[in-house]
Amino acid sequence: MKGAMQTTRTGTPVHPAYRLLRTAVSEALQQLQAPQPISDEAIHDARKALKKARAALRLLQDGMSKTTYQEENSGLRDAGRFLSPLRDAKSLIDAFDSLHDRYIHKLQGVELAPLQKILPENLTKARRHLHLPGKSTELKNSIRLLKNCITSAKKKDFPSIDSATIDSGLRRIYRKGCKAQADAKSAQTTEALHEWRKQVKYLLNAVDGLHTSKKDNAGGDVAKILKRADQLADYLGDDHELAMLAQETARGTYASVDADVIKALHALIDRRRAKLQQRAFRSGKKLYDRKPKKFTKQAD
């Protein structure tokens, strides 16, 4: 995998994958250390940066010990999990609004007011919990884990990991995406589809990160890969948010909402998810249609 190499102060070449890791973690820290209360957008941007960092770590994986990889990956994963409740509450509202706008004519006469009250209330509670003065530790823990990641990366030999190792990491990411696609097609479960989406995001962020410095001049194959991966991730992301909306509104806390309203909502969710999954598998077939070695050459 070719890329614009930089060097450290000691003259050691720095591969774009390592630069992506450092930049993404620093970006997440910047968002989380902003003056409180931190906006929903900042939390969203921090989580996006963490996904980029985890993709970079997978590219670097073969250049580090298993223990080091597991420690770094766990730290980045847990840093993101501390932020999940707020992001999840916002995603449920986005999914509901999108569904409502798409099927507004079919929802005429359906009493949605209780849902339109409960979902924002849940988001407000999540915001308060994250920013609760002196009591909530989620934000502090997330910042601590990210700082530890940067410190650890400086002490390790991450900057000197060579291009051949990065190629191996990219092939692994692609292979896992192929397997996740097959599992999703076979199982057709929310969990399998979500796992596939995660693998697609790793691939998207890995290829994008490796070409950041020359994105405007990226070859046709690279541009095509990025476009297909981005589109596929969107399909699977929308599907997952709708699945979470169905699970959320099936909980006992929504007993005050008329059962027929929930039934009508779930019917539309199932209808929309079926279309999104159809598009996802059609798009995935084009993205994951090569052998890993051939893909790595085309992604160069």
pLDDT at residue 10 tops 90: no
CB distance 240 to 194 below 8 Å: yes
1 in a domain, yes or no? no
The mean-pLDDT minimum among 30-39, 56-65, 121-130, 148-157 falls in 148-157
> What is the pLDDT at residue 35?
84
250 in a domain, yes or no? yes
202 in a domain, yes or no? yes
Percent of the chain with pLDDT over 70: 90
18 in a domain, yes or no? yes
210 in a domain, yes or no? yes
Domain residues for the domain of 13 are 9-298
pLDDT at residue 79 tops 50: yes
**CATH number for the domain that contains residue 88:** 1.40.20.10
The mean-pLDDT minimum among 51-55, 290-294, 296-300 falls in 296-300
CB distance 87 to 80 below 8 Å: no
> What is the pLDDT at residue 217?
47
> Structurally, how many domains does the chain consist of?
1
> What is the pLDDT at residue 44?
93
> What is the pLDDT at residue 38?
86
> What is the pLDDT at residue 218?
52
Pairing outcome for strands 6-7 and 13-14 = antiparallel
> What is the pLDDT at residue 196?
98
From CA 283, how far away is CA 277, in angstroms rounded?
A: 10
pLDDT at residue 104 tops 90: yes
149 in a domain, yes or no? yes
Q: Considering the chain, what is the average pLDDT of its residues? A: 89
3 in a domain, yes or no? no
The mean-pLDDT minimum among 10-19, 84-93, 198-207 falls in 10-19
Instruction: Give the Cβ contact number of residue 206 at 10 Å.
Output: 28
The mean-pLDDT minimum among 6-15, 19-28, 253-262, 288-297 falls in 6-15
> What is the pLDDT at residue 12?
44
> What is the pLDDT at residue 131?
77
105 in a domain, yes or no? yes
pLDDT digits (tens, 9 = 90+) for 172-221: 999 999 999 999 999 999 999 999 999 999 999 999 999 875 544 456 88
Most confident of 56-70, 234-248, 253-267: 234-248
From CA 282, how far away is CA 286, in angstroms rounded?
A: 7
Nearest of 284, 292, 293, 218 to residue 16 by alpha carbon? 218
The phi and psi torsions of 157 (rounded to 5 degrees) equal -100, 30
